[in-house]
Amino acid sequence: MMHFADSLTFSGRKVVAAWAALPFPALSGSSLPDILSAHQQDVPWKLLSSWREQKVSCCFAQSVVLRGICQEKPTSCPGQPRSPLHSCESPEQVLQQFFHTQFPGAFSTSHVLQQPCETRPPFPQFFSPLLTRRGFLLDKAQGYSSGGVESIPVLAALQSSPVLHSLLSGLCRELRAPNVRRWSSFFTAGVEQDDFQEALEELKTLSQCYETGFGSSEDEAGSD
């Protein structure tokens, strides 16, 4: 995993964020171009970190894996022109075209696997009744319990993006807040005060590698 993360980082960056859509929001019978065309304003996956919700506006590099989307024939809604996504010849090309639109200039790799994620027991059955047995969305609740969901389409991504500036700088502020000198057990465990301060400075420097010059006022106000 470290080597994989290294392939997505450069310019002093060392950290990537994990994102996922579980399940991937796909209507039953829809093609991948149909699905992604409905998400032109925002990407259909969420940050897995416990940090506050962040909207993805840009990224430096990413690797995305999508599994469980059948090779349905692309369609388009009546009265609407076909999008550039519908002109792509393969699912990989569809994803690349989508990323090119959402994150222009970013380095992106994508992989598409037909096999879905199996969700039979002992997989936790926390699914909405708006899912079919194959994990696709319905317009109304189905007649059986969510325990009947046997598989789901999934999208997972590792991404190097400015979101990590907020996450890392926030972590640095939280570590600076308490007075660690009062915790004798903290340093009797083998941590030296100078090493601790050096690690904080390295964390602050690392967070600055993810700045784009368009950070929020909240981040700027909280930096030191």
On whether both 96 and 131 belong to a single domain, the answer is yes
Residue 69 is assigned to a structural domain of this protein: yes
Domain boundary among 160, 185, 200: 160
Residue 220 is assigned to a structural domain of this protein: no
The pLDDT assigned to 54 comes to 62
Place of tokens 């969901």: 149
Higher pLDDT, 14 or 50: 14
On whether both 91 and 191 belong to a single domain, the answer is no
**CA–CA–CA angle 7, 8, 9 (5° rounding):** 100
Question: Which stretch of DSSP H or E encloses residue 46?
Answer: strand 46-47
Task: Please determine, for residue 160, whether its predicted confidence score (pLDDT) is greater than 80.
Answer: yes
On whether both 141 and 182 belong to a single domain, the answer is no
Task: Report how many domains make up the chain.
Answer: 2
The pLDDT assigned to 157 comes to 92
Of 67-71, 73-77, 197-201, 215-219, give the lowest mean pLDDT range.
215-219
On whether both 169 and 151 belong to a single domain, the answer is no
On whether both 202 and 99 belong to a single domain, the answer is no
On whether both 145 and 176 belong to a single domain, the answer is no
On whether both 137 and 88 belong to a single domain, the answer is yes
Gyration radius from the chain CA atoms? 21
On whether both 5 and 102 belong to a single domain, the answer is yes
On whether both 49 and 3 belong to a single domain, the answer is yes
**CA–CA–CA angle 94, 100, 103 (5° rounding):** 130
Q: Contact at 8 Å (CB) between 91 and 69?
A: yes
On whether both 135 and 179 belong to a single domain, the answer is no
pTM above 0.85, yes or no: no
Domain boundary among 122, 142, 160: 160
Domain extent, residue 195, equals 165-209
The pLDDT assigned to 211 comes to 87
Contacts of 151 (CB under 8 A, 6+ apart): 68, 116, 117, 118, 119, 120, 133, 134, 135
